[in-house]
A and B are shown apart, each in its own frame.
Chain A
Amino acid sequence: MEAVLFFLAAIGALGGALGVIAMRNPFYSVLALIVHLFSLAALFLLLTAAFVAAAQVVVYAGAVMVLYVFVVAYVGGGGESAWEPIPGQRFLAPLLGIALFVELAVAVLSSSLLALGTDGPDVNAGFGNPAAIGRLLLEKFLLPFEASSILLLLAAVGAIVLASNRRDGERDTPDEPSPNREEGVSLSP
């Protein structure tokens, strides 16, 4: 049963990942990523990480993907140019991807981690539930927790600054000061 669930979720995750790359329209890429994220949440549940799975669905598949959908709707799906800056990029990229996979798989599987071939130790029922994660976050990992909250605040402020409307005026007259601004200066006493 567990193996069936694992392979179903793995097929979903891999199919979603390939769909992100293969779709021409960025909107469909976002939808494929949502499939990928839900499959990944199922994998997290198989690994008895209930809180991480819930956070994955709520934060990622919920909030972040809505942000993506909004930006895709705002920007629109531009077609990619057929021009290749590196000759043979379409053939080199899969080769490099496969090489990276082989390298990673060899590096992991040939490591001396003896527990890789096991299911892991038996854990109690509370393993990975919100209470356990919360206790770890607020006791052992308090500093990373607070640092990540500051990081979130900085990212929010940075996004507002980056995407603010103020840049529109700069774009219209990039080099010379705008006449309206000069008028304002001359009118002021």
Chain B
Amino acid sequence: MNTDWFVVLSALLFSTGAFGILLRRSPMVILLCLELMLNAGNLALVAFSRMVGNGQGQVFAVIVMVVAACEVVVGLGLIVAIFRRRLPLNVDDLRELRG
């Protein structure tokens, strides 16, 4: 398969994730959509790594995976903290920090 197929698929997955973030209001689903976007970036990184014939892009993808795992842990910790404080799990109601 040509590299452009993979890159276009990655762009499609990335915009699907962005679409989900724009549409959904539950913080849990927004975190899942963030995962979609990070994974789309990973797919592009690995595809470009194959295109160049150099393994360094795959190391980049592994590091992105680590960062995504950290993001999940902190995000889910925030969701649990919000839930414990009996606050609504809806990003429209959690607007105290908005300027």
Contact = CB atoms under 8 A, between A and B. Distances in A.
Contact of A21 (B23, B47, B65, B74): B23
Contacts, number: 253
B63 to A, nearest CB: 5
B5 A117 contact: no
Contacts of B97: none
Given A21-B19, A159-B73, A167 B84 contact: yes
Interface string A23-36: 00010011001001
Nearest to A115: B51
B76 to A, nearest CB: 5
Interface residues of B, number: 71
Contacts of B63: 141, 144-145, 148
Interface in A29-48: 29-30, 33, 36-37, 40, 43-44, 46-48
A150 to B, nearest CB: 10
Chain A contact residues, majority secondary structure = helix
Contacts of A80: 24-26, 90
Contacts of A121: 52-53
Contact-residue bracket for chain A: 35 or more
A75 B89 contact: yes
Given A75-B80, A93-B22, A83 B62 contact: no
B94 interface: no
A59 B36 CA distance: 15
A20 B36 contact: yes
Interface of A: 2-3, 6, 10, 13-14, 17-18, 20-21, 26, 29-30, 33, 36-37, 40, 43-44, 46-49, 51-52, 55-56, 59-60, 63-64, 67-68, 71-72, 74-75, 78, 80-81, 83, 85, 89-90, 92-94, 96-98, 100-101, 104-105, 108-109, 113, 115-123, 127-128, 132-133, 136-137, 140-141, 144-145, 148, 151-152, 154-156, 158-163, 167-168, 171
Contacts of B18: 96-97, 100
